[in-house]
């Protein structure tokens, strides 16, 4: 997808989970054999890939790529919901299910027994990887895909069927995601009715960043190394939650050393990530109209009235909920500044807010600092994290801020802001007991 559209596809895992869930349910509920399930899943993957490109991706053909990136996040949520409700069609509940073995055979190597599903995976995965690398690097298809990504309008004028190429690429992506999850269902089981998590996408993104998004050989090698690293972490700690913080460090470190040697095509991508033109002020002639002035005064008056009346008429619980809404709205305003004006996409704004809130709670509860001063400390902590994460991404403009902030969000949720690993965040309210 990066080669074809120059976007990060956050729906990569979810594109495969829907047909894979269908295949596993056919085996579990209707007793289909391995090969029939594979055929049904492949057919569903092809249909889903064509539909996703035609109904969603193609709508953003001429739009800035930051919009298409956001669209893939929405697509991931939609497909995840589809995978969640699919078991209900059979009256089944979410659980981990496996596929039947494709054939009865086993090989023991060093005390480890490989059955038929393992053998299929050992053969299919290398063939798929080699075929992908050769098709994109050594064939006319790969040349056409790169041309359509770098200069789509120019490619159209030369007679390259850009939109059909995009349909083919998205179909291949869906088939590849399905095969990965289908093989996983055969070797270790698949969570049916759960969908995929952003942690799966983060692992793929880490390999992409190490390969500078274009070097397929490096990406494949990095994927293998990162997979081995994850297994080592799980073996040593017994938990995979520390993998996300480790991947975040790897991504940030890789971006810090990638400024040199960046290609011209990568520099040209910067302009396509600009979401909108410069925001201009209202012309004086229009601003002086009484209708415009009346609207401004009315909005200010309504806001002031709401701030004065709501605490008097709402319960404590309702005020807490309203405060949460205003906090999320403030995070949304920061996203407007980044995406709407700077053309940058951040997926870690809640991590910045969470860090500020955690520091505020620590300062008021553990250090007995005045709440007003603690608010400033929390804001400084969130801003410091944002600067540390944002500077490496700004060295190479484009989608890299989205990559680093996604890594940050998962690292914070699984490590820094998780008292199960780092017990430093108070859980009590600084205001003490409140009347009902």
Angle value at C-alpha 173, between 38 and 250, nearest 5 degrees: 115
**Which of 196, 219, 251 marks a domain boundary?**
196
Do 50 and 39 have their domain in common? yes
Model confidence at 433, pLDDT cuts 50, 70, 90, reads: very low
Q: Is residue 293 situated within a structural domain? A: no
Do 201 and 108 have their domain in common? no
Do 202 and 192 have their domain in common? no
pLDDT for 94: 82
- Domain region containing 380: 197-279+311-436
Do 76 and 151 have their domain in common? yes
Q: Is residue 91 situated within a structural domain? A: yes
Q: Which helix (H) or strand (E) holds 330?
A: helix 316-335
Do 321 and 268 have their domain in common? yes
Both tokens assigned to 149: 């990504």
**Which of 175, 196, 217 marks a domain boundary?**
196
Separation of alpha carbons 326 and 320, rounded Å = 10
Q: Is residue 287 situated within a structural domain? A: no
By CB atoms closer than 10 A (0-12, 13-18, 19+), residue 426 is middle
Residue 290 vs residue 52, higher pLDDT? 52
Residue 178 has pLDDT above 90, yes or no: yes
pLDDT for 435: 43
Do 184 and 91 have their domain in common? yes
Percent of the chain with pLDDT over 90: 14
3-state secondary structure of 114: strand
Q: Is residue 298 situated within a structural domain? A: no
Place of tokens 């080669």: 3
Do 259 and 406 have their domain in common? yes
Do 349 and 231 have their domain in common? yes
Q: Which helix (H) or strand (E) holds 418?
A: none
Percent of the chain with pLDDT over 70: 86
């Amino acid at each position: 997808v990066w080669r074809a559209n120059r976007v990060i596809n956050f729906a990569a895992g979810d594109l495969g989970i829907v047909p894979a869930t269908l295949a596993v349910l056919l085996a579990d509920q209707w007793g289909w054999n391995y090969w029939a399930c594979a055929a049904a899943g492949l057919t569903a993957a092809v249909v889903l890939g064509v539909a996703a490109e035609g109904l969603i991706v193609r709508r953003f053909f001429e739009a800035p790529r930051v919009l298409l990136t956001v669209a893939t996040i929405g697509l991931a949520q939609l497909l995840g919901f589809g995978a969640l409700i699919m078991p209900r069609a059979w009256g089944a509940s979410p659980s981990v299910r496996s596929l039947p073995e494709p054939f009865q055979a086993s090989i023991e190597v060093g005390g480890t027994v490989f059955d038929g599903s393992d053998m299929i995976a050992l053969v299919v995965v290398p063939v798929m990887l080699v075929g992908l690398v050769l098709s994109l690097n050594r064939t006319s298809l790969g040349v056409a895909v790169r041309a359509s990504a770098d200069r789509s309008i120019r490619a159209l004028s030369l007679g390259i069927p850009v939109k059909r190429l995009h349909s083919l690429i998205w179909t291949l992506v869906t088939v590849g995601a399905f095969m990965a999850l289908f093989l996983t269902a055969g070797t270790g089981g698949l969570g049916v009715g759960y969908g995929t998590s952003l942690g799966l996408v983060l692992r793929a993104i880490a390999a992409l960043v190490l390969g500078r998004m274009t070097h397929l050989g490096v990406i494949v090698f990095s994927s293998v190394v990162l997979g081995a690293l994850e297994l080592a972490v799980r073996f040593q700690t017994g938990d995979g939650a520390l993998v996300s913080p480790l991947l975040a460090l790897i991504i940030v470190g890789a971006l810090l050393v990638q400024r040199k040697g960046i290609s011209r095509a990568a520099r040209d991508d910067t302009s396509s990530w600009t979401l909108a033109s410069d925001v201009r002020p209202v012309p004086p002639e229009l601003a002086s109209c009484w209708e415009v002035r009346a609207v401004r005064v009315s909005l200010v008056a309504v806001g002031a009235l709401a701030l004065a009346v709501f605490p008097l008429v709402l319960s404590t619980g309702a005020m807490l909920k309203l405060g949460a809404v205003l906090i999320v709205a403030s995070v949304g305003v920061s996203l407007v500044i980044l995406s709407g004006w700077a053309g940058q996409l951040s997926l870690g704004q809640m991590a910045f807010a969470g860090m500020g809130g955690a520091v505020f709670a620590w300062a008021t509860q553990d250090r007995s600092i005045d709440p007003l001063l603690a608010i400033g400390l929390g804001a400084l902590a969130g801003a410091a994290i944002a600067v540390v994460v944002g500077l490496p991404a700004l060295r190479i403009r484009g989608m890299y801020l989205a990559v680093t902030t996604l890594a940050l969000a998962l690292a914070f949720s699984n490590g820094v802001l998780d008292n199960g690993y780092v017990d430093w965040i108070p859980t009590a309210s600084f205001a003490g007991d409140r009347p009902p």
